[in-house]
C-alpha cells in the first residue's frame, strides 16, 4: 500500500527559539556513535535547491508522484524530458563544505553511519562510505517490468540518440533532478523503454506517494538502535520517511540534534536545535571537535 504524498507542512504556533548552540551539539557528537540523517538543505550550497526553504522549489514546482508517473504516458514524457536535462546538472554538482564535514566526522569516528534523503550522490562523492540512500539515487534506472537496474549514463546515451534534435533549455533545477521546461518542448521528446523487456523505465528513486523499500527502512531502524545519538542536518522532516527515525530515536531515549535553517517537523523531539545554514555550521562543528 502506497502512502499519500506529503508535500507541505505548516509549523504550529510561533517559531521555536534556538534551543542550543553548536557547542552543545559538539559535546554530544564527541562521544561518538552518532547517526547522521541529511536532507536537501545540505546540498543547496552545491547548487541544488531544497524543497521547502525560503527559495525552495515547492513554491513553484510540484514534484512527480508515483501514480502520475505510472498512470500517464504524458506524465512520463514530461518527467523524462525535464530530467534528461536536469540530470546533467546533478551529475556535474560537486560536494560542498557540509558534505566534506560529514565525511570528516565519519572518518574521525564520531559518526557511525549516514542516512540521506537526497538522491544526488554527493555524500558518496565526498568520500563517505556506506551511505544509506533512503530515497535512492538518480544515477540508476530501474525497469518497472523486469526490475533490471542499469546506469543512468546508459539511458542518457539512448535518449540522446532518440532525440537528436532536442533543443530544450533548462531554466531552474529542482531537488528531484528535473528542470522547468516549456510544454511545447516536452511534447517533442521521445521516451525509450527497457532494452530487456520493453517495460517502463523509472529513475531508481522513491517518488512522492511511493514507499521506501522495507528492507531499507529496517536497515535504518537498526542504525538508529545501534547509535548513541541522531544528528539531523538540513531536513525539514516534513515527510514521514525521515521523521519516523527521529521519533524512534527520541522514544528510545537517544538525544536528537537538529541543525537546519528554519523550523522542522521534528523540533519537538530535539534535545538540541540550532537554526543555521549547513556549510559554515558544520565547518565550525568540525573545528570545535578539533
Q: Which residues are annotated as a binding site for NAD(+)?
A: 39-59, 117-120, 234-236, 260-262, 278
Specify binding-site residues for Zn(2+): 143, 146, 194, 197
Residue positions forming the annotated binding site: 39-59, 117-120, 143, 146, 194, 197, 234-236, 260-262, 278
CA dihedral 82, 86, 88, 93 (to 10 degrees): -170
Q: CA 186 to CA 191: how far, in whole Å?
A: 11
Residues annotated as catalytic are 135
d(CA 243, CA 266): 7
CA distance 257 to 245: 12
Here the cell at position 270 is 530535539
Which residues of the chain form beta strands (DSSP E)? 34-38, 111-116, 132-133, 136-143, 149-151, 201-205, 229-233, 256-259, 272-274
> Rounded CA gap, 86 and 81, in Å?
9
Give residue for cell 507542512.
Answer: 9
CA distance 112 to 109: 7
In three-state secondary structure terms, 233 is strand
CA–CA gap between residue 187 and residue 251 (Å, rounded): 50
Bridge-based pairing state of the strands 272-274 and 256-259: parallel
- Farthest CA pair distance, the chain: 58
Judge contact between 35 and 223, C-beta under 8 A. yes
Comparing CA positions, the residue from 3, 44, 59 lying closest to residue 175 is: 44
Amino acid at each position: 500500500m502506497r502512502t499519500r504524498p506529503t508535500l507541505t507542512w505548516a509549523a504550529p504556533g510561533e517559531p521555536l527559539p534556538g534551543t542550543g548552540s553548536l557547542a552543545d551539539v559538539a559535546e554530544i557528537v564527541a562521544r561518538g556513535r552518532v547517526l547522521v540523517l541529511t536532507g536537501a538543505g545540505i546540498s543547496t550550497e552545491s547548487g541544488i535547491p531544497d524543497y521547502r526553504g525560503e527559495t525552495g522549489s515547492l513554491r513553484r514546482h510540484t514534484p512527480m508522484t508515483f501514480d502520475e508517473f505510472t498512470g500517464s504516458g504524458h506524465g512520463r514524457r514530461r518527467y523524462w524530458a525535464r530530467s534528461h536535462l536536469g540530470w546533467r546538472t546533478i551529475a556535474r554538482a560537486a560536494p560542498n563544505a557540509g558534505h566534506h564535514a560529514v565525511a570528516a566526522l565519519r572518518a574521525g569516528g564520531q559518526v557511525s553511519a549516514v542516512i540521506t534523503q537526497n538522491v544526488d550522490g554527493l555524500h558518496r562523492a565526498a568520500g563517505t562510505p556506506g551511505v544509506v540512500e533512503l530515497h535512492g539515487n538518480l544515477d540508476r534506472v530501474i525497469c518497472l517490468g523486469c526490475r533490471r537496474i542499469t546506469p543512468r549514463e546508459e539511458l542518457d546515451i539512448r535518449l540522446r540518440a532518440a532525440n537528436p534534435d532536442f533543443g530544450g533549455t533548462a531554466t531552474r533545477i529542482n531537488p528531484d533532478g528535473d528542470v522547468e521546461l516549456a510544454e511545447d518542448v516536452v511534447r517533442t521528446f521521445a521516451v525509450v523503454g527497457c532494452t530487456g523487456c520493453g517495460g517502463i523505465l523509472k529513475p531508481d528513486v522513491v517518488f512522492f506517494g511511493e514507499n521506501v523499500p522495507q528492507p531499507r527502512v529496517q536497515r535504518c531502524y537498526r542504525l538508529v538502535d545501534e547509535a548513541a545519538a541522531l544528528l539531523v542536518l538540513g531536513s525539514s522532516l516534513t515527510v514521514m520517511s525521515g521523521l519516523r527515525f527521529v521519533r524512534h530515536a527520541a522514544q528510545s531515549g537517544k538525544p536528537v540534534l537538529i541543525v537546519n535553517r528554519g523550523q522542522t517537523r521534528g523540533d519537538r523531539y530535539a534535545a538540541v536545535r540550532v537554526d543555521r545554514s549547513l556549510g559554515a555550521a558544520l565547518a565550525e562543528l568540525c573545528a570545535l571537535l578539533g
